[in-house]
Amino acid sequence: MDERWNWDDLRLFIAVARGGGLSMTAQATQTSPPTLGRHILALERALGMELFHRSKDGYALTTAGLELLELAEGVETETAKVDRWRDRSFHSHKVRIAVGFWTGLFLAHKMSELRPDDGKTDLALITGVSDIDLLRRQANIGVRNRRPVQSGLAGQKLTRVEFAIYGDADYVGANPHSKSHRRFWECDWLTILHSGTKPPSAAWLEAHLERDPVLTCNSAAALMAALTTGAGLAILPCFVGDASPRLVRCSDTISELAHDQWLVSHDEDRHERHISDVLDNIADLIRRHRRLFEGATVPAGAHSKPVSDGNAASVDTD
């Protein structure tokens, strides 16, 4: 072993080991797949051993990789303590908030309301990454679709989140079946997938749709851009659809997709002032918009008569 390994390589090794591959890990680490690959190769060369079996299905740990992961996770825990000490020492902080696509879109428009007034706290918004580990402090705060059950995590229930079908006003005006059950075979549809995972809204739509979607997006922003320019219909959380002046609600809320929204944090870290302030700001913001999240703020032109869209198996949420 002629080279020294470094912590950055080890940190990215842990991320790839948990993510199962380069593309699955790139968004969580804000690093491109080629860069991740170079770091893993550099670590393997420095240690003089192969850490992953590489295949078209992803990266699987070798025996040596499994042993290293156990050691590296211990190092990760200790370095997190150093990071927290450094933050306190220099009186500056970064609070990392992990959210789903749609909640991320909502919070991104409200960032000025989330940052504490101390002038020392910066925010990082991590969107659409489902495997962020709050216990390992990969993020400080999470907005989740279920109550935390792991020991060491604290949660508070914020509101109920409802979903409905939406379309651009011009598209709905030109397609009267948008507001009837015939929309499932008469209208164009848009849907969203991310990291190879099918969100509950996409699974529900697949169970009801009589034709393939005309567009599948991997980001909320892309879907909204297509939807608000008249490309078809889509399922959205009401706090997104009802807030858009371009969109018309075409259905009642979809009970199978509704869920409670929880604000989650590490049980120890939530008492730190900068994290506590951001938790309070998020909770206050969402509760002030509770009617929007619950689908009670129906815009003009929205559907007003019950429409039965059938029953689907209960699912978690986007």
Domain 161-257 has CATH 1.10.1740.10: no
Which pLDDT belongs to residue 197? Answer: 67
As a whole number of angstroms, the distance between CA 179 and CA 88 comes to 55
Which pLDDT belongs to residue 195? Answer: 64
CATH architecture of 91-160+259-290: 3-Layer(aba) Sandwich (3.40)
| 154: its two tokens | 């604290």
**Has residue 312 got a pLDDT over 80?**
no
As a whole number of angstroms, the distance between CA 145 and CA 99 comes to 10
| 282: its two tokens | 């998020």
> What crossing angle do the helices spanning 7-19 and 22-29 adopt, rounded to 10°?
120
Please tell me which residue, 195 or 18, carries the higher pLDDT value.
18
Q: For 262-281, what is the mean pLDDT?
A: 91
**7-84, CATH topology level:** Arc Repressor Mutant, subunit A (1.10.10)
Domain residue spans of the chain: 7-84, 91-160+259-290, 161-257
| 147: its two tokens | 């109550």
Q: For 99-122, what is the mean pLDDT?
A: 88
Q: Bridge-partner residues for 143, per DSSP?
A: 263
Which pLDDT belongs to residue 90? Answer: 60
Query: What percent of the chain clears pLDDT 90, i.e. is strictly above it?
Result: 52
DSSP secondary-structure letter at 104?
H
